[in-house]
Chain A
Amino acid sequence: MVTSASAVAVAAAEQTGRRRRPRRSAATRRDWLVGYTMVAPQVLGALAFVVAPLVAVFWYSLHEWNVLANTFTFAGADNYERMLADPGLRDSLVASLWFSVGLVALNISLALVLAVLLNQKLPGTTTFRTFFFSPVVVSLVAWTIVWSFLLQADGGINGFLATVGIDGPNWLRGEATAMLSVIVVQVFKNVGLNMILFLAALQAVPVEIQEAARIDGASAWRRFRSMTLPLISPTILLVSILTIVGSLEVFAQIAVLTGGGPGNSTTVLVYYLYQQAFRFNDFGYASSISVLLFVIVLVLTLVQWQTRKRWVFHEV
């Protein structure tokens, strides 16, 4: 919603500026100077710490570069060819895909359930909202450490399961349960954020329509499915894409909970990138993985902006 409007505003500003150019005064030019000075720290910072590194990472990805051996030779598309043939990279893409799909599915559905429940004007709603949101402000590593403690083979969860006679698995060491554990820990950490966004969307649904359907005898479920859900679907779509983009950047959770294991079943793309760069010192190959990550995020973000533009009238 913001980007398209702002682009228009800036373009408009640009045009007025152009029209005025012939009779600009000293005062106008002084104003320009103030403008340039004010944006300078951010613009120069973006150049130095975003644009330049981005260009550099493309450049590095075309090189054979081992930090320890201190070699830096041009290698053309070698790193990219290696990516195509690398089973480790393929596994990490699969792991990332599982993680993203699982996270989005669980996160969005739980966020929706929580938002709908909190929208019922039940007693204690404010307290529950605080509960659900609180993990968002807890340090990610701290949250993950506590869950790691809970998910140990002899940890709290299995302890409580044992008291009701269930023999719990070793959550973080089993192929099947490790990824699920990472996903669940991440869902509880951040679902409160999406819940708030959905709650805002639900509260924007006009009461009159609900009332009319209610008087026509539509059940609560029917009203939700046929009216509320379509009305908040743009929000659901946007939140889903934001959650996918965020899910691609998962790192600390993997590092603390599973270290990428068992095997490499939870070695997601970013973790693989980190291993290549800072464990194997293969900066050239790590750079080509960075480029891949950037392209994926770029495509997803463009999709998000596109959908946002299309749904824009729904957002008012």
Chain B
Amino acid sequence: MKSDVMSAPTPAPRQDGVRAGAAGGRRPDRQVDARARADSSARLRRRWGRAGLVALLVVLSIPFVFPTWWMVTSSLKPMSEILRSVPTLWPQDPSFAAYGEVFDLQPFAQQYWNSLYVAVLVTAGTILVSALAGYAFARIRFPGANALFVLVLVGLLVPSEVTIVPLFRMVNSLGLIDTHWPLVVIPIFGAPSVLATFIMRQFFLGLPGELEEAGRMDGLGRWGIFWRIAFPLARPAIAAVAIFTFLKSWNLYLEPIVYLSSRENFTLPQALTQYVDAYGGPMWNVQLAATTLTVLPVLAVFLVAQRQFVQGLAHSGLKG
């Protein structure tokens, strides 16, 4: 970059590069003929520079994309090929045998269903709880709202690991160990939903008051305004909450291994780690087949609804 400027200390080559790359630059109207040759060589260099950047992006993509490729292809290999010293990028004789074993060794379909229904319940419940609370905190003035909101916000300060011991005790004393109740109820009402409430509240704060006024004119009460006007309008916030809540539940690991003990109750992340042979050695192709079955549906949905995913997860990253 620096040498670029050294050889041609005028803005012209850069402007040209911009034109070549269609970066929406502002090219000055006046052309200086004497510079034409310097221009074209700089343009060439610039183009090579951009090609270099694209090459760099390709190289940087490898650690992000290759693991997924390796996961899928390895799941189609027999163990003998997996353990071979020279890795093969594509299985020599692709076979779905490992996928059959996934279901033979564990009640994988049941575990898949566990993860799915828990995540769906948590997502639906969180949307409801957070929309209600977010709306009231944003739009209704009632005494003590400030104090109650601060109390709820404590949830943002407490990592789930901090409260795992008392929560385990609570779940244990209620006799709910090895059930899905703690995985459903605690996220909906506890710390994980606080971020959702926060995002909902932010959204409802920005809602124009005229819409509610119009609803009131039409004879709607508070509940009517919420259900008929505010909640349907909150679709972007709901989408964000739905995406990060579902993924969080789908990926939960610490809580399931603490609360669940029998295989047919396991959720996916927990089940994935259980594919070992009689000697405790991992059965890679089976494990990777199960992993593929876990990952690919989510990746597919991500590719379809990429914008919502990025926005929703960026929200969750910016908590606090």
B142 & A17 in contact (Cβ 8 Å cutoff): yes
Q: Which of A46, A145, A197 contacts B194 (CB 8 A)?
A: A46
Q: Is B4 an interface residue, CB under 8 A from the partner?
A: yes
- Say which size band chain B's interface belongs to: 35 or more
| Chain B interface helix/strand/loop/mixed | helix
Q: Which of A132, A154, A251, A301 contacts B320 (CB 8 A)?
A: A301
Q: Is A221 an interface residue, CB under 8 A from the partner?
A: yes
A159 & B85 in contact (Cβ 8 Å cutoff): yes
In the complex, which residues 123-169 of chain B have their Cβ closer than 8 Å to any Cβ of chain A?
129-130, 132-133, 135-137, 140-143, 145-146, 148-149, 151-169
Q: Which residues of A contact B (CB under 8 A)?
A: 2-3, 6-7, 9-11, 13-14, 16-17, 31-32, 34-36, 38-39, 41-54, 56-57, 60, 113-114, 117-118, 120-124, 128, 130-143, 145-147, 149-150, 154, 156, 159-160, 162-163, 188, 192-194, 196-197, 200, 211, 214-215, 217, 219-221, 242, 245, 248-249, 251-252, 255-256, 270, 273-274, 277-278, 283, 286-287, 290-291, 293-294, 297-298, 301, 304-305
Q: Which of A53, A131, A146 contacts B61 (CB 8 A)?
A: A131
Q: Is B287 an interface residue, CB under 8 A from the partner?
A: yes
| Chain A interface helix/strand/loop/mixed | helix
Instruction: Given A121-B23, A146-B68, decide whether A34 and B57 contact each other with a Cβ distance below 8 A.
Output: no
Provide the B277-309 mask, 1 if CB < 8 A to any CB of A, else 0.
000001010011001001100110011001001
Q: Which of A122, A193, A220 contacts B50 (CB 8 A)?
A: A122
Listed by A's residue number, 19 A-B pairs whose Cβ atoms lie within 8 Å are: A13-B141, A34-B221, A43-B133, A47-B151, A49-B191, A50-B190, A53-B163, A57-B163, A124-B57, A137-B309, A145-B291, A146-B70, A149-B71, A196-B310, A217-B9, A221-B1, A255-B257, A294-B162, A301-B156
Q: Which of B53, B140, B153 contacts A31 (CB 8 A)?
A: B140
Instruction: Given A38-B136, A117-B53, A121-B23, decide whether A196 and B141 contact each other with a Cβ distance below 8 A.
Output: no
Contacts of B48 in A (CB 8 A): none
Q: Which of A10, A163, A248 contacts B149 (CB 8 A)?
A: A10
Of A32, A36, A146, A249, chain B has the most CB atoms within 10 Å of the CB of A146
